[in-house]
Amino acid sequence: MEYVILDVDTGIDDALALAYAIQSPALHVLGLTTSFGNHVVDITTENTLKVLEILGATDIPVAKGAGKPLLRSPLKANATHIHGEDGIGNTYLPKPKATAIDQHAADFIIEQVRKYPKQVTLITVASQTNLALAIMKDPEIVSLVKRVVIMGGAVTVPGNVTPVAEANIYTDPEAAELVFQSGIPITLVGLDVTMQTLLTKEHTQMWRESGTPVGKFLASCSEFYMDAYAKINPYLGGCALHDPLAVGVVIDPSFVQASPMYVQVDTEGSASIGRTIGDRRNPPKQSPNMDVCLQVDVNRFVSHFLQQVITKNNI
Ligand code: BDR
Ligand code: CA
């Protein structure tokens, strides 16, 4: 079993990633850390607690983290047009009973990584701010983290917040660049692969028909996400499983094919800020600093995701 910490900005696809990860027999979730992104950090933290409650997993600790980027004023507003006013598809779940633990996300990461040296995989599906703060506070964790699987970036495809930048990198480009250059083993799960993994209304219909609270919640928030996607691209036919794919890559690395590559974040450009620039020259001139996922077995991953979410959550 893989020890993991998920860093989230819950968020609809973050909620789907939680439903996939928490009950997975392959993963032991040590805790969840939260940051700003899809909404302000107070709301993403509350949403994380709400989702844990509906999944019946309130024993998992939640540590609240960064509310703003490392160095700069926020580049982008909350993504309420994609994720809803409440951040989870206007499902307005009841206030959670549990609260976040009394420890900053960065300190939780340091504590767990030191407790389980070279055993913890971090799955970061939000900005890299919490991990960057942890590295700045305790640089030794770089050699103690097993691996970071990052949902972020767009190395070979267009961005989703700007023509070239993906949301989780654009949210805090300096934090992402710090993590990229830190020496931590990284697997980058970017739009290159996540935009191919689609959830459709046929899938959510199954969840809705189950009549269970989890099934109805996941169907409602996912359908909100699909409608938001349809406004941007009416031909897509679904919503992308960005954050669940990062979890999937930890559960079964054979869902993707990854190539070693040097990638840096543009932190200075104006039109290009937040772009993830990969050295794709042949041969490359810079030594790789990560594995970049470039191909995904869409059918095998989506089937596994659906099957796990349904059976493990009794939907
Ligand atoms: C990423 O940005 C967030 O809005 C989603 O939750 C996902 O992590 C996709 O670009
Ligand atoms: Ca996210």
Does the beta carbon of 78 lie inside 6 Å of ligand 1?
A: no
| Global ipTM | 0.98
Helix axes 41-55, 12-22, angle to 10 degrees: 40
pLDDT number for residue 260: 98
End-to-end CA, the chain: 24
**CA 283 / ligand 1 centre spacing (Å):** 32
Which residues line ion ligand 2, judged by CB < 5 Å? 9, 11, 14, 125-126, 243
Residue type, 32: L
For residues 53 and 181, what is the distance between their CA atoms, to the nearest angstrom? Answer: 37
**CA 117 / ligand 1 centre spacing (Å):** 29
The pair of structure tokens assigned to 117 is: 């040296």
Residues of the chain with pLDDT under 50: none
The pair of structure tokens assigned to 97 is: 């009973």
pLDDT number for residue 70: 97
pLDDT number for residue 312: 86
Does the beta carbon of 61 lie inside 6 Å of ligand 1?
A: no
Q: Give catalytic status of residue 242 as yes or no.
A: yes
For residues 85 and 29, what is the distance between their CA atoms, to the nearest angstrom? Answer: 28
Q: Is the pTM of this model over 0.90?
A: yes
Residues 6+ apart with CB under 8 A from 111: 103
The CATH class for the domain spanning 2-309 reads: alpha beta
pLDDT number for residue 254: 98
pLDDT number for residue 314: 87
Does the beta carbon of 160 lie inside 6 Å of ligand 1?
A: yes
pLDDT number for residue 76: 82
Does the beta carbon of 192 lie inside 6 Å of ligand 1?
A: no
